[in-house]
Amino acid sequence: MNQENNDNNSIAPSADPKLAASREFAREIARLAHDRHCSEVVILELADRSPVARHFVIGTGTSEQQIRSVAHEMKDFGDDERDFPSFGLAGIQQGRWAVVDFVDVVVHLFDEEYRKFYDLELLWGDAPRVEWQQNCK
């Protein structure tokens, strides 16, 4: 279900360098989640729909420990390897829904039950999906 568009909402290359950088970082984060065995990884582009973030990356973890580990690795990746320092990290203690906030990109890692309950894809159903699986193993 990872596609470059959602219905008629297609993603065009952006002339806005901040949007393009955010989109590329979201793709890197999605690939990291996939490489760490998160499933159903989706990127939603919210740039024209919300003042909260330009992109949401959403994934389902396999366990509380895995969700915590992946969230910490994502935070370190943004802080240390890319120019996307994290603003906050939440939900780590419980490990059922972790949020890593990079301001322009917000990552939501859920366990399966919480993912179904909160259903962010339905809530942001008009947001286009960004393709991220190119060059993915």
Total count of domains within the chain: 1
103 within a domain of the structure (yes/no)? yes
12 within a domain of the structure (yes/no)? no
92 within a domain of the structure (yes/no)? yes
User: What is the model's pLDDT at position 6?
Assistant: 40
What is the residue range of 128's domain? 39-137
- Give the whole-angstrom CA distance, residue 33 versus residue 132: 11
Amino acid, res. 115: R
87 within a domain of the structure (yes/no)? yes
What residues contact residue 91 under an 8 Å CB cut-off, 6+ apart? 71, 97, 98, 99
User: What is the model's pLDDT at position 12?
Assistant: 62
83 within a domain of the structure (yes/no)? yes
* pLDDT tens track for 21-80: 999 999 999 999 999 999 999 999 999 898 889 999 999 999 999 999 999 999 999 999
User: What is the model's pLDDT at position 79?
Assistant: 94
User: What is the model's pLDDT at position 1?
Assistant: 38
Lowest mean pLDDT: which of 68-72, 96-100, 108-112, 131-135?
A: 131-135
CATH number at residue 104: 3.30.460.10
